[in-house]
C-alpha cells in the first residue's frame, strides 16, 4: 500500500546489506528522497544518492548528515553472525556499538528521527513473547553488543526509535544467504536439512517489515518497539510451512534439537517477541507465519 507523504529525506546506513537493500527498494517506491551509505565503493543502488564510507569514521558520517540533513536515518549496520561475534568480540563491538555511537553523536544537534534496527537476541529465552518492558539479559556477545548499541542511541539522541525484530527474506546478489534462503534453496535442490524443534521465534518478511517501518516514520514513534510476526513457531515448523507453500518435500526436513549442537555462541531456546505495543500505537496489524511466507513467495525473483 502506497501512502501519501511530504517529500522527506531518508538516509539508510548499511544499504548494500540484506535489510538495507530491501529498505532502499521499499522507500524508493514511496514519496521519499532516499540516500544510502555503505562500506563498499560499488553498489547496486544506482537510482539513489549513494555515499560509500565507514561509520567508524566520525568525520564521514558528520559530513553526510551536514550535507543531506536527513529527516529520518535508518541504521541497519550490524555484524549478525553470532559465532563470529563470539570469537571476534572487538570486531563485534566496533561494528555493532561504535558505529551506532558515531551515528547518534552526528545527529546530536539535528532534529532527525533515528530508527535503530536491533534484535530479538536480548533475553535469556526462558519465556515466550518478550515485551518492551521485559528486562534484557543477553547470553552471547552479539546480544550484549546490540543492547549496548540500543542504550547508546537512546542516551545520545532523544529522537530515537529502537526496533527489535527477526526478519526473513531475499538478499541482494552475492550476499550471504539468509536463513529463509538457506531453507528454500536446500529444499528446492532436494537436499536433507536439520531444523530445530526446540528453537522458537516470531519471524516477519522483510517487505512487510519495511511497510511497518513506514508506520514508525508516519506516526512518528519514539522509544523501543518490537516489530515481528504475530505467531511463534519453531525453526522446524517454519521449514515445514515453507516447504508446503513452495511444493517441496517436507520429508527432507529432519527434526533436530538445538541443545545437541555445540555452537561457539550460546543460543536461547525462545526468541519470540510480543508486538502488542506497536499494534496499540499504530493499529497496524503485523503478519502471521502464513502471511510472511506468502510475501516471501510473492517477492521471489529467481
pTM of this structure: 0.95
Rounded to whole angstroms, the Cα distance separating 11 from 37 reads 8
pLDDT tens digits, one per residue of 152-197 = 999 999 999 999 999 999 998 778 899 999 999 999 999 999 999 9
pLDDT tens digits, one per residue of 107-150 = 988 899 999 999 999 999 999 999 999 999 999 999 999 999 99
- Contact yes or no for 51/40 (Cβ under 8 A): no
Fold for 8-171+201-231+271-290, please state it.
Rossmann fold (3.40.50)
pLDDT tens digits, one per residue of 73-108 = 999 999 999 999 999 999 999 999 999 999 999 998
If you average pLDDT over residues 196-207, what whole number do you get? 98
pLDDT exceeds 70 at position 6: no
Rounded to whole angstroms, the Cα distance separating 228 from 292 reads 10
- Contact yes or no for 165/227 (Cβ under 8 A): yes
pLDDT tens digits, one per residue of 225-243 = 999 999 999 999 999 999 9
Amino acid at each position: 500500500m502506497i501512502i501519501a507523504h511530504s517529500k522527506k529525506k531518508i538516509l539508510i546506513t548499511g544499504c548494500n546489506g540484506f535489510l538495507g537493500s530491501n529498505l532502499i527498494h521499499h522507500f524508493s517506491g514511496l514519496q521519499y528522497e532516499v540516500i544510502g551509505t555503505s562500506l563498499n565503493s560499488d553498489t547496486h543502488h544506482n537510482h539513489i544518492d549513494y555515499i560509500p564510507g565507514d561509520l567508524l569514521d566520525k568525520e564521514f558520517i558528520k559530513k553526510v548528515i551536514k550535507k543531506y540533513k536527513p529527516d529520518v536515518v535508518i541504521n541497519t549496520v550490524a555484524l549478525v553472525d553470532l559465532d563470529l561475534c563470539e570469537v571476534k568480540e572487538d570486531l563485534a563491538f566496533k561494528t555493532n556499538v561504535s558505529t551506532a555511537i558515531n551515528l547518534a553523536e552526528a545527529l546530536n544537534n539535528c532534529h532527525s528521527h533515528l530508527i535503530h534496527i536491533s534484535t530479538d537476541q536480548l533475553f535469556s529465552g526462558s519465556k515466550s513473547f518478550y515485551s518492551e518492558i521485559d528486562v534484557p539479559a543477553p547470553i552471547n556477545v552479539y546480544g550484549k553488543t546490540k543492547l549496548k548499541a540500543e542504550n547508546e542511541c537512546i542516551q545520545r539522541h532523544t529522537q530515537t526509535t529502537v526496533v527489535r525484530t527477526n526478519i526473513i527474506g531475499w538478499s541482494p546478489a552475492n550476499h550471504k544467504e539468509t536463513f529463509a534462503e538457506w531453507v528454500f534453496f536446500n529444499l528446492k535442490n532436494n537436499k536433507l536439512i536439520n531444523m530445530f524443534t526446540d528453537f522458537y521465534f516470531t519471524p516477519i518478511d522483510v517487505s512487510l517489515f519495511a511497510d511497518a517501518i513506514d508506520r514508525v516514520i508516519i506516526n512518528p514513534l519514539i522509544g523501543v518497539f518490537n516489530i515481528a510476526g504475530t505467531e511463534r513457531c519453531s525453526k522446524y515448523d517454519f521449514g515445514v510451512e515453507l516447504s508446503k507453500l513452495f511444493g517441496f518435500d517436507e520429508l527432507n526436513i529432519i527434526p533436530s534439537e538445538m541443545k545437541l549442537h555445540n555452537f561457539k555462541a550460546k543460543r536461547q531456546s525462545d526468541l519470540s517477541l510480543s508486538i502488542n505495543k506497536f499494534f496499540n500505537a499504530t493499529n497496524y496489524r503485523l503478519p502471521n507465519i502464513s502471511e510472511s511466507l506468502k510475501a516471501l513467495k510473492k517477492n521471489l525473483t529467481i
